[in-house]
Amino acid sequence: MSVDSNLENKFQVRWQLFVAIGALIVVNALWGLSFPIIKSMNLQMEHAAGLESSQIDSGLRVAFTAGMIAMRFTVAFLLLCILGRKLVLNASIAEWRAGAVVGLFFYFGLMLQVLGLATIPASRSGFLTSLTAVFTPLFSALVLRRIPTSNVWIGGLIALLGVSLLTGLIQLGQWQLSIASDAMSKWTTGDTLTTLGSVLFTGQLLLVDYYGKRLNTTAITPSMFLTVAVAAAVTFLCLQHYRIEPNNSVANQQESLPMFSEGLFFSPMFLGLFVFLAFFCSVLAFLGMNRYQPHVTAVQASVIYSTEPVFASMAALFLPSFLGSISSSFAFPNEELSFPLVLGGALVLIANVVALWPKKSPQPLPTNEAAVRS
């Protein structure tokens, strides 16, 4: 092979990497926008139900969330069938199976994330979701039976400090760290749900990396969307017995949930946000993710995905008031930059970079040879 051919091949490889990184950054920007948008849709559903967030029963909250996810990904799947008919028809059985597995991980992760987002700010949710970048190398090491590198441990400790500052568990005063007097109330159920969601997103990311070496990961997208839509629809149907009474109580009677009432679902604002989520944040974003993630390593992908909370925080600074101005039915103020948010969020991002910084291959965990043979 000539020198010119070698140079051309190197250029093509670098160009593919550059395009893949750029595409994945756009994907994360779209996902970042989705945080305040979903938060807005949660508020609209609460308003349609005539309830405050604290009044909503957990079962009803899950039903709301599942119903919204089912509608979003049903529309996304139909759009994919229209815009990518060949992709849907040509997908192999193996790709449909892979998409179903990836879809289940994503569905449960998304359910937990959206449930958590109902009670915590969009920026906070974004940074907690970005813990995926710390979990990925840790879980990869465990799956491969390798001792995690020192970078992973250091990154994990930095992430723990960042999350503690972000959620108010630890306070910084006069250059000293101290546990907040009301620390027990600072960490909320929403924080727990979001963090558990990031664990499931880690599994999804590792699965896409695994299948990317064996299948056409773009072709797993239809099955992934269909799996999410079906799983969410089943969840919603199982909770159909929840209804809203005129006195704002939840009763065990058959009636459609208010999210499907004409006043909400067919309102121009709700419908517009719904279409945006289905097309841009679902069809385009996940096609881009499944198409371009295999061109980078799982570690590189996790670093890129750590930009998602930055986009989420930026969007939360201006998008809520814009959405609130369109509809006078609910208040949705912009988030404000605070010292805990900036410092805690910065530490989480630093932790992502440290945990994923390239290093020599770690040593394998000692194994019991007899146990392995058996």
Q: What DSSP line would sit under 307-325, residue for residue?
A: THHHHHHHHHTTHHHHHHH
Question: Distances in Å between the alpha carbon of 356 and those of 16, 139, 155?
Answer: 21, 12, 8
Question: Distances in Å between the alpha carbon of 290 and those of 12, 23, 42, 253, 284?
Answer: 20, 11, 28, 42, 10
The pLDDT of residue 2 is 61
Q: At what angle do helices 308-316 and 319-326 cross, to 10 degrees?
A: 50
The pLDDT of residue 370 is 36
The pLDDT of residue 230 is 96
Q: Do 342 and 322 form a contact (C-beta atoms < 8 A)?
A: no
The pLDDT of residue 194 is 92
H/E stretch holding 11 reads helix 3-49
The pLDDT of residue 358 is 61
CB-facing half-sphere around the CA of 129: CA atoms within 13 A: 34
Longest dimension (CA), the chain: 80
pTM for the predicted model, two decimal places: 0.75
Q: Which of 213, 190, 210, 191 is nearest to 202 (CA)?
A: 210
The pLDDT of residue 31 is 87
The strand pair at 242-244 and 250-252 is best described as antiparallel
What lies within 8 Å, CB to CB, of 184 at 6+ separation is: none
The pLDDT of residue 229 is 95
Dist CA 334 CA 321 (whole Å): 5
Q: Which of 88, 42, 89 is nearest to 221 (CA)?
A: 88
Question: Distances in Å between the alpha carbon of 152 and those of 123, 168, 306, 356?
Answer: 24, 24, 15, 7
Q: Which stretches in the chain have pLDDT values below 70?
A: 1-5, 7-8, 48-57, 173-178, 180-184, 240-266, 298-299, 302, 327-331, 355-374
Q: Which residues of 81-91 are buried (b: 16+ CB within 10 A; e: fewer)?
A: eeebeebbeeb
Neighbours of 229 (CB within 10 A): 22
Start-to-end CA distance of the chain, whole Å, equals 48
The pLDDT of residue 101 is 95
Dist CA 33 CA 31 (whole Å): 5
Kindly write down the DSSP assignment for every residue of 214-276, as one continuous string.
TS-GGGGHHHHHHHHHHHHHHHHHHTTTEEE-TTS-EEES----GGGSHHHHTSHHHHHHHHH
Q: Name the region of 303 (left: φ>0; alpha: ψ -120 to 50; beta: rest).
A: alpha
Q: Which residue has the tokens 């039915």?
A: 329
Q: 308 — phi, psi (to 5°)?
A: -55, -45
Dist CA 346 CA 193 (whole Å): 22
Give the torsion through C-alpha atoms of 225, 37, 265, 190, to 10 deg: 80
Amino acid at 302: S
